[in-house]
Amino acid sequence: MEKFAVLQLSGCAGCEVSLLNADAWVDKYQLVYMPLVISASGVPEVDILLVSGGVRTDEDLHNLKRSVKKANKVVAVGTCAISGGVTNLGNREEVRNFFMNQSEQRDLPRLLADCRPIADFVKVERYLPGCPPTPELFMAVLFDPPDFKAGNSVCVECNRKKDKTMKPKRLSGHLHGNVQPGICLINQGFLCIGTSTRGGCGALCTNPGQPCVGCRGPSNAFIEKESDAWFASIKKVFSKMTEIPEPEIDSALRSAQMAMFLYQFIDYAGDNPNVPSKKEIL
Amino acid sequence: MTTLTFPLSRIEGHAQVVIEVEDGDVKSAHFKAMELRGFAHFLKDQPADQMPVIVTRICGVCSTAHHVASVKALEDAYGVEPPPLAKKIRELMMLGQMLQNQATSLFIFTMPDRLGLSIIFQEEVSQEVAKEKQGIAGRALKVRKAGTDLITLAGGQFIHPVKAVVGGVTSGIPKDDAAAMKKQLEDALPMARELFDFYWKSSETLHDRIGTWGDDRPACYIAATGKTKPDYYGDRMRLLIPDNENIIDFQSRDFRKHLDFEETDYSYSAMTTYKGNALRANSLARINIADSMGTPLADEYLSIFREIHGNPANGILLFDIARGIELVYSIERSIELLGEDLENGEPAVPHTETDGEGFGLVEAPRGPLVHRYKIKDGLIEDIEFIIPTVHNVHSIELALMTAAKRYISKEKVDMELERAVGRVVRAFDPCIACATH
Ligand code: SF4
Ligand code: SF4
Ligand code: SF4
């Protein structure tokens, strides 16, 4: 039986919980390390190492470097491991200073100034974006099932239809009730970026009525480009489908809820970005 | 001075127990939370109305609780009251969360301690154990999955729910979907009971072997559940104090009048006290505070439990048994709710965003959770998360101290100590991602 391990760095454990929702691996792979479900002292030799969470502390870094040596293949799973995820919102001077001060006061793992993607430190063979990736995506990265096919974008997987007659004049706020079924959320004034988000999640959020915030990251059309190309394109989508003033769209596209998406772009990734190529991303 | 360090697994997040011993005398027992992401800091100046999407990322184990608490905090600030249909659907989300969490804690985190294993999935074990544990993993995953599916149905997403919105929920639940979910839960109920019965029995065996249910001193218990029966949607905080006939209750916005918070230099988590006393939150607190469970099977379990352990019950390992009672309750109560009309009626009422301060309270699997948002010009001016695990830190350390004294003497450190440390910590089911956020 092939062996795999899950190394959890600083994240929310949502990626692990998602993996536990799948059971197809139980007969095919032996799980040898995953602190959430097994007591083991360290990562042994494994075929696949899944790493979730970002590098937040010196201990994260130490565990990461030590563990990848034992693995044939390293997969970065989840937005945190790939880009740092929502914690990137702390990428500001006053927050960074707060973190640095914390470490000085305590006898604990030292906090780095910000939460770093794992590819900044180790070689990553495969990327599985999502916050978290769905159980199906986890199975796809473990088994490469031939019948697995992710849509080019979330839109492709979404069961809502665009409606040319509905042209909202304002963004209707991020969240509100009374979402109309079957009709594209953009036509209802929501900031949905499913058009440019990598498919594969099955339009998990948009189908029940919540705009896509792009946790699967930019689709192949954008992933190797800088964010400007995407801003231009998505603004075009909104100017075609709505009458919402551009400045309103622009500021919403740069707001906190977009962190999971935006930080997956090269130019948001900080110095010496290590941005995956299309081929490496599932 | 000797320092014993125990890394912890089968809990959420990165934590360690450090026990200091001098000449066989236990000097201290510390529970160290080793991570910090800083949500309370990096969310400052961000748009308040986006919190329900972002704060779910505090914790993937109990994100439903954060999602609902967040929406309730905004509603409190804006002065909106969600319609009855929305409250029902939110209650279902919380029940799904409770079901999933208690199944995970019981069957994935702590069952191995009862069976002498390191994991419930594949592992080389003796014939005898293999026979006993046959089918546990598969059934445990099925029961757990029912909780996840309920969260998905009521919450719209399986890990980080999205369906609660200010003023209500995005939509009701179609009749057919509710019926299918009801059926799935009806199938899961006997499985959950069998697993729990087995769990309870093996806990008794464990008790007979080690001779204790753990630290059983009378303690203060805190929960935001109902007085007469459980209600995880949360209305008021309740405190049960030993030797006091009455339960003190107060609004979440008054929590600082009753609770004190302390930072330490050895952990990224704070700890709570009540007038200098340690507090206990989580399953046992809820079981001790509520008069009954309000569903037939759970009430049967509760009366057996009370007959043996009294009310309030105090042994640490009883947290685990209490979790099983709640598992049964969550399934029964969800079946009840899914039989009601969840399709018709207003899912949400309109609202206007205003500045101000809001408090959102829910009873999360680990205890009462409060989100406090101070909003200025639509942005977060100040934000605070009052985390259930933090209420338990002091009690975890006291219980660790009790265990350490039991197994450490001048002559030796008993091998059982390491296992005891794991059992004590897991009984509280701490969540480090939440505690440090
Ligand atoms: S990617 Fe999302 S689900 Fe995974 S650890 Fe990070 S915040 Fe949690
Ligand atoms: S709701 Fe979003 S994902 Fe669905 S069709 Fe519209 S833009 Fe695409
Ligand atoms: S719909 Fe968008 S935000 Fe939701 S899971 Fe899919 S990619 Fe992520």
Counted residue by residue, chain B has a size of 437
* SS (HEC) of chain B: CEEEEEECCCCECCEEEEEEEECCEEEEEEEEECCCCCHHHHCCCCEHHHHHHHHHHHCCCCHHHHHHHHHHHHHHHHCCCCCHHHHHHHHHHHHHHHHHHHHHHHHHHHHHHHHCCCCCCCCCCCHHHHHHHCCHHHHHHHHHHHHHHHHHHHHCCCCCCCCEECCEECCCCCHHHHHHHHHHHHHHHHHHHHHHHHHHHHHHHHHHHHCCCCCCCCCEEEECCCCCCCCCCCCCEEEECCCCCCEEEECHHHHHHHCEEECCCCCCCCEEEECCECEECCHHHHHHHCCCCCCHHHHHHHHHHHHHHCCCCCCCCHHHHHHHHHHHHHHHHHHHHHCCCCCCCCCECCCCCCCEEEEEEEEECCEEEEEEEEEECCEEEEEEEECHHHHHHHHHHHHHHHHHHHHECCCCECCHHHHHHHHHHHHHCCEHHHHHC
For atom 6 of ligand 2, which residue has the closest CA?
Answer: A184
Give the pLDDT of residue A173.
Answer: 66
Q: Which amino acid is at B150?
A: L
CB B251 within 8 A of CB B245: no
ipTM over 0.90: yes
Inform me whether the C-beta atom of residue A266 falls under 8 Å from chain B C-beta atoms. no
pLDDT tens across A117-151, in order? 999 999 999 999 999 999 999 999 998 888 888 88
Can you give the pTM of this predicted structure?
A: 0.95
Asked whether residue B125 carries a pLDDT value surpassing 60, the answer given is no
pLDDT tens across A9-23, in order? 999 999 999 998 887
- Mean pLDDT for the stretch of residues B79-89: 96
Closest residue in A to B168 (Cα–Cα) = A177
pLDDT band at B157 (very low <50, low <70, confident <90, very high): confident
pLDDT tens across A150-192, in order? 889 999 999 999 999 999 999 886 555 578 889 999 999 999 9
Give the pLDDT of residue A1.
Answer: 84
pLDDT band at A24 (very low <50, low <70, confident <90, very high): confident
* SS (HEC) of A219-267: CCCCCCCCHHHHHHHHHHHHHHHCCCCHHHHHHHHCCHHHHHHHCCCHH
- Please provide the average confidence, as pLDDT, over all residues in chain B: 93
- Mean pLDDT for the stretch of residues B217-226: 92
Domains of chain B, start order: 2-435 (1.10.645.10)
Residue A194 CA, closest ligand 2 atom number: 3
B433 CB neighbours in chain A (<8 A) are 11-13
Main-chain dihedrals φ then ψ at residue B333, nearest 5 degrees: -65, -35
Which is higher by pLDDT, B51 or A274?
Answer: B51
A104 CB neighbours in chain B (<8 A) are none
- Residues 6 or more apart whose CB falls under 8 angstroms from that of A193 comprise A211, A212, A213, A214, A234, A253, A258, A261
Give the pLDDT of residue B137.
Answer: 81
- Mean pLDDT for the stretch of residues B191-209: 95
Tell me whether residues B165 and A175 touch, CB distance under 8 A. yes
Give the pLDDT of residue A271.
Answer: 65
For residue A184 and ligand 2, the question of a CB distance below 6 A is answered with yes
Distance B175 CA to ligand 3 centre (A): 26
pLDDT band at A272 (very low <50, low <70, confident <90, very high): low
pLDDT band at A256 (very low <50, low <70, confident <90, very high): very high
Inform me whether the C-beta atom of residue A204 falls under 8 Å from chain B C-beta atoms. yes
Q: Which residues line ligand 3 (CB under 6 A)?
A: A 154, 197, 201, 203-206, 212-216
B86 CB neighbours in chain A (<8 A) are 177
Where does residue B299 rank: exposed (0-12), middle (13-18), buried (19+ CB within 10 A)?
middle
Q: Which of A122-136, A241-255, B134-148 has the lowest mean pLDDT?
A: B134-148
Task: Please tell me which of the candidates A31, A132, A174 has its beta carbon nearest to residue B121.
Answer: A31
A255 CB neighbours in chain B (<8 A) are 46-47, 50
Task: Please tell me which of the candidates B11, B35, B157 has its beta carbon nearest to residue A205.
Answer: B157
Give the pLDDT of residue B120.
Answer: 79
Closest residue in B to A134 (Cα–Cα) = B158
Asked whether residue B34 carries a pLDDT value surpassing 70, the answer given is yes
Asked whether residue B147 carries a pLDDT value surpassing 90, the answer given is yes
